[in-house]
Amino acid sequence: MTVAQIDRFIGELDAQDAPPKHISLLGGEPTVHPDFETILLRLVEHVMHSPACSAIDVVTNGRGRRSRDFLKDYKGHPNVRFHVSPKHGHPKIEYFLPFNHAPVDEDGFSAEVALCGCRYQVFLGLGLTPFGYYHCPIAGGGIDRVLGLDLGKKNFPTADDKFESQRKSLCIYCGFLMATKEMVERSFAYCDVATREKPRISEAWRNAYEKYRLRAVSLSRY
């Protein structure tokens, strides 16, 4: 995202009666963004005067000189919290959900399941990408940018917005939806790390990636 987009976002936050209680910077790796510190400081200035949110959370892998420098420079900062993801092999991970296992490829799958959401949507919350707002960061950053449906909302969503179009069109591709109780009961979608089972790429994703390779995806910007 650009600094101008972040400034617009902050302006939208200031206009909300009930602004978000948490703001997180995710990637990829956010610290490699060329304007990362400018963006971070803009957001810090906002939360210093916000009654709802008191700190900016940054999720980083903590690797590379830039990441380590930011961790050092902002250690103990009252308005910045860095969350370093675990290193490979620690803690031990026995199973993981293959993102490219599309629920829509499961026999008997109904798009209505997508309307129920999943634990990732609850944990991550609303996502803003360079292409607009999504009900979940994964939907925008990982799915719509490949499918090219251009479903990002260009204005801050209202409190009663259920994102039904996004959920029905994007969640049906997300392997993390397989963690819902209904899907787990029908299909054990986890990959076994111990046996080095390869992550499953289901037919819908194979087709999507093939189309992505053949044509440029153009999404309208926030």
Q: Are residues 161 and 65 in the same domain?
A: no
Of the residues 30, 62, 84, the one at which a domain ends: 84
62: alpha, beta or left, given left = phi > 0 and alpha = psi -120 to 50? left
Per the model's pLDDT, the better-predicted residue between 16 and 186 turns out to be 16
Q: Are residues 114 and 47 in the same domain?
A: no
pLDDT surpasses 70 at 186: no
Position 219 in a domain: no
pLDDT in tens, 26-80: 988 999 999 999 999 999 999 998 888 989 999 999 989 999 999 999 999 999 9
Q: Are residues 26 and 128 in the same domain?
A: no
Query: What average pLDDT does range 3-24 have in this prediction?
Result: 94
pLDDT band at 102 (very low <50, low <70, confident <90, very high): very high
Q: What is the pLDDT of residue 193?
A: 47
Q: Are residues 116 and 50 in the same domain?
A: no
Q: What is the pLDDT of residue 188?
A: 43
Q: Are residues 99 and 40 in the same domain?
A: no
Count CB neighbours of 172 within 10 A: 20
Q: Are residues 111 and 173 in the same domain?
A: yes
Q: Are residues 109 and 138 in the same domain?
A: yes
Task: Name the residue range of residue 117's domain.
Answer: 95-214
d(CA 32, CA 100): 26
pLDDT surpasses 50 at 187: no
Residue with tokens 């101008």: 4
Number of domains the chain is built from = 2
Query: Residue 98: which of 14, 174, 16 has the closest Cα?
Result: 174
Q: Are residues 80 and 99 in the same domain?
A: no
